[in-house]
Amino acid sequence: MNKLLLRGRVLTFVDEPQSVDDQSAYTYFEDGAVLIENGKIAEVGDYAAIATVAGPLAEIVDHRPRLILPGFIDTHLHFPQTQAIASYGAQLLEWLNTYIFVEEQKFSSTAHADFIAGRFMDELLRNGTTSAVAYCSVHPESVDAYFAAAEKRNMLMIGGKVMMDRNAPDALRDTPQSGYDDTKALIAKWHGRSRAQYAISPRFAITSTPEQMEMSRALVREHPECYVQTHLSENRDEIAFATSLYPSAKDYTDIYAGYDLLGEKTLFGHCIFLSDREIVALAETKSVAVFCPTSNLFLGSGLFDRDRFRSLGARISVATDVGGGTSFSMLETMSEAYKVLHVQGQRLSPFASYYMMTLGNARALGLEDRIGSLRAGTDADIAVLDSRAKPAMELRMRTATTLAEELFILQTMGDDRSVAEVYVAGKAMKSRIDNAVPLARSLAVPEPA
């Protein structure tokens, strides 16, 4: 049995912090260790105690003085938009038509899909993200590329083919029947294979006819084991257009409710302009509202009102929403989340922030038994963070005296450079990608001509 012992400052959450100094929400070992056996965490605790348990044969990697945390989880992004980040000047509907619906047509090419899928997974890992929920393009081949790239890296990834049968270019439209058939085949092929999980993915109400929404309902009914992902209430023009297409629905949320798409495995991206009635509908069905701060700012969409979701008892998660979002980094995402909430008079404490990126998002996905925390029996998906990765960070860190301060500096000033190493199921990945050692070279797919 091969044993790997990581030594460092270990931080993991057991619950959501209720205040800025709620120490009951997390466990922290100043000289800590994580013992990994066969891709899973076997023990976590003080180094001296864990080293004794590990025995003399364990390989030891000393990450001191860095922080060892669970790998980050991203609950909403688009893998075909990897090369469309930073597209200038448009709000949602214009941005989709001008940039995104052009970019996604490239994914009819298997070679292109394979190339981007590999780079996408590597970029997640370079940023400390070990699991994510992504939309693929309308092409079933893009889903094959996505899950194959995840499988090569042994990552727990969730995703699915977008279904869209109107208000998009011909080359990106499926039909209610082909969307259904392709989704069924992809679920059969991928869901539960390696660490893959499937998400049934009607893009949003604007790009699906009532007939396609019916097919989505059928898929959800036939596959309760799968996730559902879509977009909801991101932009005022989008809301007006969506509700005009479904005139009998009470509001945008009611469009999806009318097809039984609300539920505890459903992730609704954005949820910026929901009425109290709509938030209560999400709360009653345990649906998850996904907060995408960099995207909401970049596309000029609006500000996510976390406290209203909280007061009405609705579940939330946090995500990058690349390529509307501007960074793969969950640290940068939480830095923007802090600002989006701050401008509304809402506080996001450093501990609450790191909870959201890890255990909070794992709970939103119902995967807290497998990922999102460092405890015996969970998968060894781990991020090692360096609070002094840049000169300005090192200088700032000289004045930091508490863990909370350090976490906040890391979030506010950090990015992929602050991620020193990433482990996926116990295997070091970031150093392999960055140094292009033989494994990374074997994973790399050349860019198609």
User: Given the rule CB under 5 A, which residues bind Zn ion?
Assistant: 269, 321
Q: How far is the CB of 296 from Zn ion (least distance, A)?
A: 11
Choose between 234 and 332: whose C-beta lies nearer to Zn ion.
Answer: 234
| Residue whose C-alpha is closest to residue 129's, from 351, 340, 320, 289 | 320
Q: Give the DSSP per-residue string, 257-277.
A: HTTT--STTEEEEE--S--HH
Q: How far is the CB of 120 from Zn ion (least distance, A)?
A: 14
- Peptide linkage before 323 cis (omega within 30 of 0): yes
Choose between 167 and 378: whose C-beta lies nearer to Zn ion.
Answer: 167
* Phi then psi dihedrals of residue 162, to 5 deg: -70, 140
Q: How far is CA 5 from the centre of its chain?
A: 27
Q: How far is the CB of 389 from Zn ion (least distance, A)?
A: 29
Q: How far is the CB of 78 from Zn ion (least distance, A)?
A: 6
Q: How far is the CB of 235 from Zn ion (least distance, A)?
A: 11
Q: Are 378 and 40 in contact (CB under 8 A)?
A: yes
- Bridge partners (DSSP) of residue 421 are 384
Burial class (CB in 10 A: 0-12, 13-18, 19+), 194: middle
The amino acid at residue 367 is: L
Q: How far is the CB of 117 from Zn ion (least distance, A)?
A: 17
Choose between 96 and 257: whose C-beta lies nearer to Zn ion.
Answer: 96
Q: How far is the CB of 77 from Zn ion (least distance, A)?
A: 7
Choose between 325 and 350: whose C-beta lies nearer to Zn ion.
Answer: 325
Rounded to an integer, what distance in angstroms lies between the CA atom of residue 440 and that of residue 431?
9
Choose between 183 and 235: whose C-beta lies nearer to Zn ion.
Answer: 235
Q: How far is the CB of 127 from Zn ion (least distance, A)?
A: 18
Q: Are 10 and 32 in contact (CB under 8 A)?
A: yes
Choose between 321 and 381: whose C-beta lies nearer to Zn ion.
Answer: 321
Rounded to an integer, what distance in angstroms lies between the CA atom of residue 446 and that of residue 283?
45
Q: Give the DSSP per-residue string, 202-259.
A: E--GGGS-HHHHHHHHHHHHH-TTSEEEEEES--HHHHHHHHHHSTTSSSHHHHHHTT
* Phi then psi dihedrals of residue 202, to 5 deg: -65, 125
Choose between 116 and 413: whose C-beta lies nearer to Zn ion.
Answer: 116
Q: How far is the CB of 53 from Zn ion (least distance, A)?
A: 44
Q: How far is the CB of 443 from Zn ion (least distance, A)?
A: 26
Rounded to an integer, what distance in angstroms lies between the CA atom of residue 243 and that of residue 94?
18
- 281-311 burial, b for 16+ CB within 10 Å, e for fewer? bbeebebbbbbbbbbbbbbebbbbbbebbee
Q: How crowded is residue 67: how many other Cβ atoms within 10 Å of its Cβ?
A: 24
Choose between 271 and 389: whose C-beta lies nearer to Zn ion.
Answer: 271
Choose between 118 and 269: whose C-beta lies nearer to Zn ion.
Answer: 269
Choose between 72 and 135: whose C-beta lies nearer to Zn ion.
Answer: 135
Beta-carbon contacts of residue 169 (< 8 Å; ≥ 6 apart): 101, 102, 105
8-state DSSP, 360: I
